[in-house]
């Protein structure tokens, strides 16, 4: 996703896609990514987070290589589905691992710092991908960046082997929560929270998908420049995630998610109003802030 969204305008031109087909490109990854997280969570409980994290990271690298080698639209979709399935194992493994490693009262802050790493990759990938694609085409970033990703997965496996909690299978689900509660007590609170968080995140990332195409078609921006605008959104994750974690620990998770939900709609509307330049850049940055303030609360709830 870190490369697919910023390079979507290049991909659209390569395969002569309309907006619907361009949306399906991202849906192929996102749908597989979302659906695979449930069985991935089950698998992480069986084989341990260390193995699943390694499989997921190396799997994403191999699938990314295949995406770069795809010659037809259908091949592209198939390999993006494979990438989504592989990537779906990350959060179900990483989040419980972090939760077991920190005190519950600091869990939101810990998860927010964890997100800085992901935000850094989403911030750098559009810049690197746009620069590479401008000279060697959109396939080159997928192929080139697959190698360090696979090496990172292997290094990750070795480093996690030194931490006993990464190799230990979970004993009880109650250890992931501040205190055990009955399912009947949790469910009425959990369902509305999940709906609100998923709705807000779904709307935000759906809009982000079309930002490069919007910049090219609406403002006449070059494809490489349009790709780099995605970095503005994800730059917020480098500092807004710790802020969101702090707010989550102090104000409460539900309040933080509700605030993010309320500001997201007006920000999306402003994309159609503000001029090119500082105006559009400021709105994209604020959208990123809303996203990354919400995410620590959603993951730690």
Mean pLDDT in consecutive groups of 10 residues from the start of the chain, 301 residues = 87 93 91 86 80 89 94 95 89 73 66 70 87 92 92 85 58 46 58 76 86 92 90 85 75 80 90 90 92 74 60
Say what angle helices 73-87 and 8-15 make with each other, to 10 degrees: 150
Options 1.25.40.390, 1.10.645.10, 1.20.1250.20, 1.10.579.10; CATH for 8-300 is: 1.20.1250.20
Please give the Cα distance from 220 to 222 (Å, whole number): 7
8 A C-beta contact, residue 167 and residue 48: yes
Residue 81's Cα: distance from chain center in Å? 15
Please give the Cα distance from 36 to 50 (Å, whole number): 17
In the chain, what are the domain boundaries? 8-300
- The pLDDT assigned to 213 comes to 93
Please give the Cα distance from 117 to 225 (Å, whole number): 24
Exposure string for 132-160, b = 16+ CB within 10 A, e = fewer: bbbeeebbebbbbbbeebbeebeebbeeb
- The pLDDT assigned to 72 comes to 94
- The pLDDT assigned to 183 comes to 46
Please give the Cα distance from 74 to 77 (Å, whole number): 5
The vertex-80 CA angle with 161 and 93, nearest 5°, equals 25
Q: Quick one: which of 11, 6, 255, 9 has its CA closest to 128?
A: 6
pTM, entire model = 0.78
**260 Cβ contact partners less than 8 Å away, ≥ 6 residues apart:** 200, 290, 291, 293, 294
Helical H segments across the chain, by residue range: 8-15, 19-47, 49-69, 73-87, 90-101, 107-136, 139-160, 164-167, 183-209, 211-219, 223-228, 230-235, 237-251, 253-270, 278-300
């Amino acid at each position: 996703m870190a490369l697919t969204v910023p390079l979507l305008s290049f991909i659209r031109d390569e395969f002569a896609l309309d907006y619907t087909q361009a949306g399906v490109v991202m849906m192929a990854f996102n749908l597989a990514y979302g659906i695979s997280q449930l069985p991935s969570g089950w698998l992480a409980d069986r084989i341990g987070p260390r193995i699943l994290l390694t499989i997921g990271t190396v799997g994403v690298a191999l699938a990314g290589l295949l995406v770069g080698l795809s010659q037809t639209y259908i091949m592209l979709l198939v390999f993006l589905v494979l990438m989504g399935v592989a990537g779906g194992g990350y959060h179900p493994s990483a989040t419980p691992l972090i939760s077991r490693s920190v005190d519950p009262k600091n869990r939101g802050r810990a998860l927010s710092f964890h997100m800085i790493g992901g935000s850094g990759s989403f911030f750098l990938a559009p810049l690197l991908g746009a620069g590479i694609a401008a000279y060697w085409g959109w396939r080159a970033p997928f192929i080139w960046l697959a190698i360090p990703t696979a090496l990172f997965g292997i290094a990750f496996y070795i480093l996690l082997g030194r931490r006993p909690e990464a190799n230990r299978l979970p004993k009880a689900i109650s250890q992931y929560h501040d205190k055990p509660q009955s399912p009947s007590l949790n469910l009425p609170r959990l369902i509305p929270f999940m709906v609100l968080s998923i709705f807000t995140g779904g709307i935000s990332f759906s809009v982000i998908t079309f930002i490069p195409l919007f910049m090219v078609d609406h403002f006449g921006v070059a494809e490489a420049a349009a790709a780099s605008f995605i970095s503005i959104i994800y730059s917020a994750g480098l500092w807004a995630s710790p802020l969101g974690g702090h707010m989550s620990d102090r104000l409460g998770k539900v309040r933080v998610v509700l605030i993010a939900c309320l500001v997201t709609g007006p920000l999306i509307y402003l994309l159609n109003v503000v001029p090119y330049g500082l105006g559009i850049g400021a709105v994209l940055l604020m959208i990123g802030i809303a996203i990354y303030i919400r995410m620590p609360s959603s993951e730690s709830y």
